[in-house]
Amino acid sequence: MISLVKRTIVKLLKRKGYHLHASGYLTENFFELLLYEVLKRNNGLSFIQIGGNDGISFDPLYDFVRANHHQVKGIVVEPLNDYFKQLSFNYRNYPNITPIEIAVHKSEKEMTIYRVAPDKLSDYPAWAKGISSFNKEKLIKSDKIDPGAIISEKVPCISLGQLVRDHHLSSVDLLQIDTEGYDFEIVSAIDFSLIKPTLIHFEHGVSKGIMSRQNLARLRELLHQNAYELWLTEWDAVAYRSDSFVDL
């Protein structure tokens, strides 16, 4: 079954003009190809995005949503108020997209989030805007941010399960996660009896120590147990339900 699924995905990539590399990592376009395949099959796509930032910067969904907004609906979660305001503005013309000013945490109702101070962002590359994290050490060790440039904010939190229940989400095609070090906890806490997305896209960042190889292996096993295949790009991972793509 697994080899059949792999051959099917290779065929999908080749059909669109892409090829796999011997490194074992997938082309970054693989995720987009799967999005369009789900959109075509379902004549629409629903998603939850955890870690929306401003909706555009370093965002793997914005262009897809903008190009297909009549067929796409989603909830975008962003806890930092200034980024949330930008997010809401950037999605103002897309009524099917609902921004929510909150963080996702598996158990806590409030957490401290660490970020580069707005007046220090110009001292760093553009990606520094997108590295806010529950883990201060991640900013210092992985991102090489001066501790003096880091500020903290308290943000309200909700569990993924409660978010699904509060918004009466009976089905979700995509769960998109980018929480700068908390992705493992969110994926490992998914209640697959409540929500079983066709696609789960998250950041592993193993080469930078954002997620350990052991935790990535644990997620692979968990996802396999729930009928997902897991493929990697250099920084991210995409899990897809194998039963949704075997008939390509």
- pLDDT, position 21: 40
Is 34 within the bounds of a domain? yes
Query: Looking at residue 22, which CATH number applies to its domain?
Result: 3.40.50.150
Is 56 within the bounds of a domain? yes
Is 165 within the bounds of a domain? yes
Is 118 within the bounds of a domain? no
Is 225 within the bounds of a domain? yes
Is 232 within the bounds of a domain? yes
C-beta neighbour count of 16 within 10 angstroms: 14
Is 22 within the bounds of a domain? yes
State which residues of the chain have pLDDT below 50.
1-2, 5, 17-26
Domain coverage including residue 165: 2-104+159-244
pLDDT digits (tens, 9 = 90+) for 60-110: 999 999 999 999 999 999 999 999 999 999 999 999 999 999 999 999 999
pTM for the structure as a whole: 0.88
- pLDDT, position 245: 77
Size (the chain), residues: 248
Structure tokens at 243: 């039963």
- pLDDT, position 10: 59
Q: Give the chain's domain count.
A: 1
The label of the residue with tokens 């399960």 reads: 161
Is 154 within the bounds of a domain? no
DSSP strands (E only) in the chain: 45-50, 72-77, 97-100, 103-104, 110-116, 150-158, 174-177, 199-203, 228-232, 236-241
